[in-house]
Structure 1
Amino acid sequence: MIEPSPQPQERASSQASVEVAQTGGLATTGERLTHREQVEMMARFRRDITSTTVMLKDLTRFGARVEGVGALEVDEMVTLSLPGCRPSLAFVAWANEHCAGLEFVEPLAGPLFAELVARYGLSGEKLAT
Structure 2
Amino acid sequence: MFLDLSNEAQNVDAASLRRVERIGFELPVRCKHGVVRSTVMLKDLTPYGARIDGLDKQRIGEPLTLFIPGLHAKTAYVVWSEPMSSGLEFDHPLHQSVFETLVSDFAIGHHRKAARRPVRRAA
**Shorter-chain TM-score: what band?**
0.7 to 0.9
1:73 counterpart = 2:59: yes
| Structure with more contact order per residue of length (Cα contacts < 8 Å, sep ≥ 6) | 1
Conserved? CA contact 2:28–2:39, under 8 Å: yes
Q: Which runs of 5+ in 1 are unaligned?
A: 1-27
**Identical residues among aligned pairs (%):** 32
Q: Which runs of 4+ in 1 moved over 6 A?
A: none
Q: For residue 38 of structure 1, what is the aligned residue in structure 2?
A: 24
Q: Which runs of 5+ in 2 are unaligned?
A: 1-10, 113-123
Q: For residue 96 of structure 1, what is the aligned residue in structure 2?
A: 82
Question: Which one of the candidate residues 35, 49, 53 is aligned to 2:35?
Answer: 49
User: How many aligned residue pairs are there?
Assistant: 99
Conserved? CA contact 2:104–2:111, under 8 Å: no
TM-score by length of 1: 0.72
Conserved? CA contact 2:31–2:65, under 8 Å: yes
Which of these two proteins has the greater Rg computed from alpha carbons?
2
TM-score by length of 2: 0.75
Q: For residue 109 of structure 1, what is the aligned residue in structure 2?
A: 95
Q: CA RMSD in A?
A: 1.7
